[in-house]
Amino acid sequence: MEFKKVWGTLPVKLRKTIVLVIGSTLIVFGAVLIVLPGPFTMPFIILGLVILSLEFVWAESLLIKVRHHARKAVPRKLRKKQQKFADDIPSN
């Protein structure tokens, strides 16, 4: 609760700068993990967008699009895994 009070008292330009630096850093780190071997690529990118969406409308709209596409992608993977599992089960 105290954080919200302090955050609200900061000047808007300073808040936007802090959010931009932290959010962009997380997105760049997530993008680097795509190229380099490492786990948890998408959580860093999504967390960066969440942080950016605190102060920027464009980031919020991009986050909504990412969530929409993520919801569509997850069921496809589950269906493929279920189908593969069903194909692997021997029938009597």
Q: What is the pTM of this model?
A: 0.69
Domain-wise residue ranges, the chain: 2-88
Q: What is the pLDDT of residue 87?
A: 53
CA distance 28 to 49: 11
Q: Is the pLDDT of residue 78 over 60?
A: no
More confidently predicted of 71 and 28:
28
State the average pLDDT over residues 77-91: 56
Asked if residue 24 lies in contact with residue 50, where contact means CB atoms within 8 angstroms, the answer is no
Give the chain's length: 92
More confident residue, 42 or 88: 42
